Structure 1
Amino acid sequence: MALKLAVLVSGGGSNLQSIIDKSEAGVLDARVVLVLSNKPGAGGLERARRHGLPHAVVDHTEFPAREAFDAAMVARIRESGADLVVLAGFMRMLTPAFLDAFAGRIVNIHPALLPSFPGCHGQRDAADYGVKLAGCTVHFVDEIMDHGQVIIQAAVPVVPGEGGDTLGARILELEHRIYPQAIQWLAEGRVRVQGRHVLVADAGRLLAELGRPALVNPPLERGF
């Protein structure tokens, strides 16, 4: 049976689109049962409409406190019957009550190689810092921002002089690949958490078959 997803969005929803596309192509054993946004004009809602997916708005500005807003979201998600809560550009911190309601069943994608560069501007912060490798992280969500256990990461080399917007566009291409992959592993029941470590069944075998690839930037020259 397909894993049922509630996807939370605040913006354009390009990661939502990647999940929808993989699901419709039969690559991802999951289906979106709810697209939920805190912003009535979020582009992710239009994507849901185009694909005939259930969608709703819980406008955070209509609630006197964060706890009341989160309680309303919890109610909508529970009504949908979702197995997993997927944050896809959802720009709100979640309260302990929300985290407790879906403990161990909330995932997020962040456009940086955590634990480096948490927060809203990971791509820009990485570019400004002058790192040689940047990337993205899919992780479980806990009470600290961008802190939960890492499921998968992907890296790209940073081009000298590159700004956050250009770097972010290249990182986004990888986000669209690793987020559905992480969800597929969860759908297959292959993910196990041990403390800070997330273990994916058979991942070690595949890594050995690929020869333990590495990304080095600037590239190593001949003889090294």
Structure 2
Amino acid sequence: MPKKEIKRPSIVTPELLLQRATLKGISSLKASLQVKVYNDGDYLGVYPGSLIYKQPDLLKLSLYAPFGITVMEFLYKKGEIQIYIPAKDTLYRGDVSFRRLLPDEKKLLSLPHQLKNTKSGYLLSFYNTDEKIYPKAIYIFSENTIQWKGLELYRGDKKVLKIGINELQENLPTDFEVVTGRFRVRLFLKDIVINPELKDSLFHTGKASWVLPLRSFGGWHKEWP
């Protein structure tokens, strides 16, 4: 399918930009994955995987070795991140400061925010009401097309998570990178199914003998809980 040309409107507003970072009409999805993993710049390999998502705050990503053996499960559930490593019989978990995977336009726009047009594109920064020096999140958009290009999350003056978007299907990222600490992963989505019926009970990880704080997970950013 040829890509539809997107022209930049004459007036760019925060409201207009956030519309490019929401998945209107998508309440759930599932997809197959190909995931490339890097640690400290070293290529660790490519893994097949699967992803399921349900609005507003449920996401599970699973990576597999040959013969379908689970290598890792990543779960985001209502403000908590869990990483399960079966080979180590270990679960890492911790709360995070963001409670939604995708922006709630009304809630975000009720926060102090600032829009800048820079060489990197449009930067839309949001601040906590009690902390107006450092942003909590920065959404990045192309200057020419105003397409969503990335997201950065902060704790104080520390950038703890960066997402760079390479390809979109409508507003859905289908080729994107996630960087935190020493880890960088590039994800490719395929076989996408929009709005499947997904029960909440699907969003869980395996049980582990050892439960550790998220910051103990190798390569995870030290600023995380």
TM-score, scaled to structure 1 = 0.26
- Greater RCO, 1 or 2 (C-alpha within 8 Å, sep 6+): 2
Bigger proportion of residues as strand: 2
Bigger proportion of residues as helix: 1
TM-score, scaled to structure 2 = 0.26
